[in-house]
């Protein structure tokens, strides 16, 4: 196995791996970066930590690469958050890389190999305080973007932010800030307060989330794509549509796609059925400045 290192400034590279297959096919590079970040926790404390970011790119694609940041979700218990390991989303990451993106997948503070305190806890079900948790993951995402943009092979002004579940909510939170150089935001099954075991399809304080999405819609100006399923065991079929409608009514730009039931829990559509969402995402990105092949 051949090793490659890229001396990108602003991030320490722990390892890089070249996956070799058919010589005529794409060459996918996977790197492990360590990026220092400083994030405000839900209780107002600042937490500084070096996080692990997994990066994928196709060595045969034109450079500089447009950047795509892909955020993971949040498990309902500490043991599962610790067991995350290194966030990769390898199937989706490879698919995006094959279409020309450099894909960055952060393992956020409080998860897997990054470790650290649980700074994304939004409180008990009967007294949720969602905004600080999503503000923290949004700040982390912006710091990851800044670190990757210091690389010579990354475009400074072409970025897409994608996320699943908690990560999907992070995408819309970031869209509300209108950061420069980000053309599109994609939300897979985004929301908060869901527990498929104890409260299937009944998230905590859904009206609070609806008001929060409405607030985001007042300021978000870039296009957004929202993807859900009818059998999402975290949020159910009705709440996501109400959240999107509140966002749009307040002025946000967006498309909403609710897929039929997928498996036993449509919340996992992003990882379990990529062939379902890939055409929708491709059409959305092509309509918003990214001319990508299938």
Query: For residue 20, what pLDDT is reported?
Result: 37
Q: What is the pLDDT of residues 163-188, one digit of tens each?
A: 999 999 999 999 999 999 999 999 99
- Helix locations, the chain, DSSP H: 78-82, 90-97, 130-148, 166-175, 206-219, 238-249, 269-272, 274-287
Q: Using pLDDT thresholds of 50, 70 and 90, give the confidence band for residue 217.
A: very high
Q: Span 206-231, mean pLDDT?
A: 98
Q: What tokens appear for 166 in the block? A: 């908690």
How far apart are alpha carbons 167 and 141 in whole angstroms?
10
Spatial separation of the C-alpha atoms in residues 94 and 77, rounded to whole Å: 29
**List of residues 6+ apart from 61 with CB closer than 8 A:** 26, 97, 100
Q: What is the pLDDT of residues 109-132, one digit of tens each?
A: 999 999 999 999 999 999 999 999
The answer, yes or no, to whether residue 8 has pLDDT greater than 60, is no
Q: Check if the beta carbon of residue 31 is closer than 8 Å to that of residue 16.
A: yes
Helices 166-175 and 206-219: crossing angle in degrees, nearest 10, is 30
The model carries a pTM of 0.92
* Cβ neighbour number for residue 69 with a 10 Å cutoff: 27
Instruction: Kindly tell me the burial class for residue 222, based on how many C-beta atoms sit within 10 Å of its own C-beta (0-12, 13-18, 19 or more).
Output: buried
Average pLDDT over residues 208-227: 98
- Residue 37 burial (CB count, 10 A): 23
CATH architecture, range 12-287: 3-Layer(aba) Sandwich (3.40)
pLDDT > 90: percent of the chain? 87
In angstroms, the CA 201 to CA 49 distance is 34
Average pLDDT of the chain, as a whole number: 91
The answer to whether 67 and 155 have CB atoms below 8 angstroms apart is: yes
Distance CA(226)–CA(281), nearest Å, equals 10
Give which of 125, 118, 104 is closest to 192, Cα–Cα.
125
Q: 42-67: per-residue pLDDT in tens?
A: 778 899 999 999 999 999 999 999 99
Residue 153 binned pLDDT confidence (cut-offs 50, 70, 90): very high
For residue 159, pLDDT over 60 is answered with yes
Report yes or no: 117 and 161 within 8 Å, Cβ to Cβ.
Answer: no
Share of the chain above pLDDT 70, in %: 91
Phi and psi at residue 105, to the nearest 5°: -115, 100
Cα→Cα distances 6→84, 154, 236, 240, Å = 26, 12, 44, 41
Name the nearest CA neighbour of 250 among 221, 292, 276, 230: 221
Six-digit token string for 73: 């979700």
């Amino acid at each position: 196995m051949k090793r490659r290192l890229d001396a990108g400034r602003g991030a320490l590279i722990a390892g890089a791996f070249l996956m070799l297959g058919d010589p005529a096919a794409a060459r996918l590079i996977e790197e492990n970066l360590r990026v220092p970040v400083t994030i405000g926790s839900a209780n107002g404390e600042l937490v500084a930590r070096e996080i692990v970011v997994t990066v994928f790119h196709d060595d045969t694609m034109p450079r500089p690469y447009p950047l795509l940041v892909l955020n993971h979700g949040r498990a309902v218990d500490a043991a599962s958050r610790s067991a995350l390991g290194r966030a990769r989303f390898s199937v989706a990451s490879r698919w995006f890389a094959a279409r020309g993106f450099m894909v960055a997948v952060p393992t956020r503070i409080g998860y897997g190999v990054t470790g650290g305190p649980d700074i994304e806890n939004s409180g008990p079900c009967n007294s949720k305080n969602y905004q600080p948790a999503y503000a923290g993951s949004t700040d982390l995402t912006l710091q990851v973007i800044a670190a990757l943009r210091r690389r010579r092979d990354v475009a400074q002004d072409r970025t897409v932010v994608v996320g699943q579940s908690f990560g999907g909510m992070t995408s819309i939170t970031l869209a509300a800030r209108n950061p420069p150089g980000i053309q599109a935001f994609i939300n897979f099954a985004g929301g908060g307060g869901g527990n498929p075991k104890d409260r299937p399809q009944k998230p905590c304080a859904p009206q609070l989330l609806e008001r929060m999405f409405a607030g985001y819609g007042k300021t978000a100006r870039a296009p957004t794509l929202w993807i859900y399923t009818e059998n999402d065991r975290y949020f159910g079929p009705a709440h996501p549509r109400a959240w999107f409608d509140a966002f749009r009514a307040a002025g946000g730009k967006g498309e909403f796609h609710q897929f039929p039931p997928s498996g036993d829990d449509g919340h996992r559509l992003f990882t379990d059925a990529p062939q379902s969402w890939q055409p929708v995402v491709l059409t959305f990105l092509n309509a918003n400045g990214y001319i990508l092949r299938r």
